Amino acid sequence: MSPAAAGAASSGEAPPSRPKRELYTIPASSSWFRWDDIHETERSALPEFFGGPGGNSYGTASRNPRIYREYRDYIINKYREDPARRLTFTEVRKALVGDATLLRKLFGFLDSSGLINFSATSPRPVAQQPGLDAVLEAPVGLQVTPRPQVSYSVEERFGGGTGENVFRLPPLSSYVDVFGEWAPGKGPICAFCGVECKDGKVETLEDGFKVCSTCCKTNSDNEEANKCAGDKKESADNHASSAWTDAETLLLLEGVLKHGDDWDLITQHVRTKNKLECIARLIQLPFGEHMLGAINGKSDSRFQTSQTTDGKTNHYIVKDTSSQSNEMVDGMQIDGEQDGADKLVEEQPSKRQRLSSSIDVTGSLMEQLALLTTATSLDVVAAAAAASIKALGSENPQAKNAFHLSEKEYQGKTFSSNHIHESECNVGDQEGEMHGQTVPDKKLQKKYISTAYQVRAAVGTAVGVAAARAKMLVDQEEREIELLLASIIETQLRKIQYKIKHFEELELIMDQEYNTIQQIKESLINEWLKVLEQAFQAGVPIQRDEVLTKLFLNKSTP
């Protein structure tokens, strides 16, 4: 806030008849304000009065700059009668003649730009009754929080072959939220994986969830979204009259189970809380989404297992669907026919990719990678796979071993096109699992290691393929851009040439005209001289005309 601005504003405010000047400290953001002028900010904020866009009724009786100033000055003066008090629109409204909508907009503008209510001490009336606010906008209370990626990470980590355990229902991760720190004799429970964290490596998120260190990493992407949700939740907490005890929450859950969505009965069941609080509480409990996610995961797993068991029938489905799809699937079909059941198993993931047409948000990371990989041609995939395996190998000799092992198996089975198999093995999301099944039991230990590296290689491949594809697209685009630019430049040049030609013609015409004008001028002067001569000979005095002649001669000679 520059004091100069304050002085200017207040000096303008005090009428000259009044000797005493009042000094107001106004916010720096509104230092543009002048009593005797209308600033650009005002014009753009309220175009109705000034005929800007949307202000099509400029010049009508009730909307013009004069009326605007009258409104504005009245409201500001009214506020300055008692700057400590918050001026409300309803109060101003009774003293002003005019459209309530327009006045409210004007008032809102003055309020938000800091011309009024800048030093009001009484809080906004809205803040005093957040309950009312919340009720007026009830649907806002319902919010969808992003689904934590528990199931993905679980699937990825244990995808090798733990079987049924992978898809067990995640425990109610709302435990911490429901019962707080109460659980006696136990460490805090991770909100994401549901495992008890005994090592004490616990991170607490904004919204009070405890997360174990492993989950915290996977969750870091989601943290931003969680934070927002947490903020909202906090604000919702503000107007809950009192905290919920464990017993009350239990009662609420019981009530929900018993009475469905009949909130009156539920409220009676809980007794100590009212209807709104009950609803808000239930919305806050996050386990609903976890349950849903768990159920999805389960059905997913069933789908997969059914596929593996009756692979034969699925094989024909692949055939049918692949008739219009690309060579990738064709190649795999050939292999499948050649190598029998084992290969069929390997095809399952690809089939699933075929069936799910677009990248699904709920699909696992590996599925998305696989989908990415199928986007380009085989050779590219093979090259990328080779590159990623090579890189992995040089990074860690153990990885080399793993791949060596799995590749040997392949060589035993494949007949010719090695690279196709490599790519295949990197494409599917459940690849690791499949390989694990083909490896004999005595290699169980190595299996996990190789699976892990294969997953990494798959990731590398997918990323590599995506990069290659992107590069291709970029090249194409660049060429296109160059072409277009060249054509643009050419047209511009042609245009300029046309213009030059045009101007040359114009110049020629100009020159010709100039010449004729010169000739006319000369003849005029000659005639004039003749007239003068004759007049001189005749002895007529021509004093007046001399000046004219001089002027004329002066002008024409240079």
Partner 1 sequence: MKTVSLSAPTRSSTVKFRMPTRDNLVPIRVDVEVDGQRYRDAFTWNPRDPDSEIISFAKRTAKDLKLPASFVPQMLQSIQGQLAEFRSYEGQEMQIKEKIMPLKIDLRVNNTLVRDQFLWDIGNLDSDPEEFARTLCDDLNITDPEVGPAIAVSIREQLYEIASQSVSAMREAKVSKKRRAPEFASNSKAMNNAVDMFKYFGSKGSVIRKRKEWYLYAPVVDVVPNEEVVVVDTTEGA
- Cβ–Cβ under 8 Å, residues 28 and 2: yes
| Least distance to partner 1, CB of residue 229, Å | 25
The residues that touch partner 1, with contacts defined as CB under 8 A, are 51, 54, 56-63, 67, 70-71, 74, 88-91, 93-102, 104, 124-126, 128-129, 131-132, 135-136, 264
| Least distance to partner 1, CB of residue 34, Å | 20
Of 357, 449, 465, the closest CA to residue 403 belongs to 449
- Cβ–Cβ under 8 Å, residues 46 and 109: yes
With respect to partner 1, which residue has the nearer C-beta, 48 or 155?
A: 48
Of 8, 5, 11, 13, the closest CA to residue 31 belongs to 5
- Does an H or E element contain 509, and which? helix 444-538
How many angstroms separate the CA atoms of 71 and 95, rounded? 10
How many angstroms separate the CA atoms of 391 and 452, rounded? 15
- CA end-to-end span of the chain: 63
**Strand, helix or coil for residue 44:** helix
> Residue 399: left if φ>0, alpha if ψ -120 to 50, beta else—which one?
alpha
- Cβ–Cβ under 8 Å, residues 385 and 457: yes
| CA 330 to chain centroid | 39
Burial 386-406 (b: 16+ CB within 10 A, else e): bebbeebbeeeeebbebbebb
How many angstroms separate the CA atoms of 89 and 107, rounded? 6
How many angstroms separate the CA atoms of 267 and 364, rounded? 40
How many angstroms separate the CA atoms of 349 and 440, rounded? 22
| Least distance to partner 1, CB of residue 251, Å | 22
Of 413, 397, 411, 402, the closest CA to residue 458 belongs to 402
Q: Tell me the backbone φ, ψ of residue 372, rounded to 5 degrees.
A: -60, -45
With respect to partner 1, which residue has the nearer C-beta, 131 or 288?
A: 131
With respect to partner 1, which residue has the nearer C-beta, 108 or 340?
A: 108
DSSP letter string, 240-252: SSSPPPHHHHHHH
How many angstroms separate the CA atoms of 420 and 373, rounded? 13
**Strand, helix or coil for residue 171:** coil
- Cβ–Cβ under 8 Å, residues 246 and 178: yes
With respect to partner 1, which residue has the nearer C-beta, 56 or 305?
A: 56
How many angstroms separate the CA atoms of 189 and 211, rounded? 7
Q: Tell me the backbone φ, ψ of residue 203, rounded to 5 degrees.
A: -115, 140
